[in-house]
Chains A and B, each alone.
Chain A
């Protein structure tokens, strides 16, 4: 048997019911038993997953035309503004947008979930009126089944590694990483660690543009590299970036999604975010891919950043492994500090398991990316300058 497998061979084995498909957690026992080379021959697909708050989430909607028609210039959905600077009845509702009347207690993320749950949503829109679109306002109700296209388009999800958060100040901080207690009272971390998609494919060999993924219960796709894609970070020997690295832009049909795998998240005194469930199958093309998915929480390191420093670059109080973070406490400056995740490992595992079943049942084919991501991207910063300044 050859030591390499093509996408076609793997899909053929899946069709014949002969493929070995395991999660990124389960594969670790197989590697321990067989070693990398033999495990690479034995296992065909490893499923990865994450279920955490991802602010960069939103949906494109096309409402269909009223009679007489309207070119919507300002749109609200259940009193939450949507961006309508597009064609006449297209809009984008961002997850973090807040309700005009209810503030952060209801927002874009809630509208998206109400649509998925087939609840009625109030659509209000206005327009200056034109010769081709004479109507100046509309106030109606829509459901997901009444409108035309409705798809999630998330510009930045599934971060490859992310810094943990701490607070050294005297006052508690309310952040997108949850409530950080004063005087280093807790450390919060995200990503699903050894189960996380881009941590298992550090150089984006099998995850690229066009990769089919599990997205909030639907079959979605990786549409582009995510924003703030920073593949050019320094990396450890195992390929993992030392700081937040790659990200994914993903899209998928709202009609096939389930609110079991996508939920609004309200962070007190911060705002709205959205828990998004993403699962990505990684084909084991050769021993190198098996070596990539052999990563364990012991081998994943991240910085602990001090969020009380209200600057772009926050000082790091040290580096810890996910194994330490998962143990329930870390030691910093001689002090034992409780840790807590904000990404649900339980849900992540549930998604990895479900994806495994879908592939086994022949409902989910493995896809080869149509384009690879660049490996040398760096981040620009935003500087304050006047037009014409060099």
Chain B
């Protein structure tokens, strides 16, 4: 069973060997897609994991108890261009640059293929034009 997870960990957990624990204790195959980690700053990790449903569920529980936020990639971001006023308030909070402003027209565009579904853009939109749709039930 494969999952895509977007992990956000607080500054005090940057020394925690998260990937090691996930491999060693839960026998997960991990492919790191994107990482943004620095000592004592909020970090992000986008990983593809492969393991048994049981192991995935237990790993998820462990991550949550350590204080690491997990957005499992089972949701997709929906951008409603009819509500959008193209202000750009969502663009700098998007870690994947899936939401961006065209430097000529200053129109906003959304590239679903770049989107990590981290959801940071949802509260950033003052128009409520960005929502989250579950692809299926959570793990």
Contact = CB atoms under 8 A, between A and B. Distances in A.
Given A343-B87, A344-B87, A186 B126 contact: no
B32 interface: no
B93 interface: yes
A344 B105 CA distance: 11
A183 B93 contact: no
Which among B106, B107, B108, B126 has the greatest number of chain A C-beta atoms within 10 A?
A: B126
Interface string B51-87: 0000000000000000000000000000000000111
A342 B120 CA distance: 16
Contacts of A266: 126-128
B123 A340 contact: no
A341 B88 contact: yes
B11 A170 contact: yes
Nearest to A273: B126
Interface string A287-306: 00000000000000000000
Contacts of A183: 41-42
Given A170-B42, A186-B92, A345 B106 contact: yes
Contacts of A268: 123-124
B92 A339 contact: yes
A248 interface: no
B17 interface: no
B68 to A, nearest CB: 16
Contacts of B124: 178-179, 268
A352 to B, nearest CB: 12
Contacts of A373: none
Which among B85, B105, B106, B123 has the greatest number of chain A C-beta atoms within 10 A?
A: B85
B128 A188 contact: no
Contacts of A345: 86, 88, 106
Contacts of A226: none
Nearest to A52: B87
Given A179-B120, A346-B105, A346-B106, 16 more contacts: A178-B126, A179-B124, A182-B42, A183-B41, A186-B93, A267-B126, A275-B85, A275-B126, A339-B92, A340-B90, A340-B93, A341-B87, A341-B89, A341-B101, A342-B87, A347-B87
Interface of A: 51-53, 170, 174, 178-179, 181-183, 185-188, 263-269, 273, 275, 326, 328, 338-347, 349
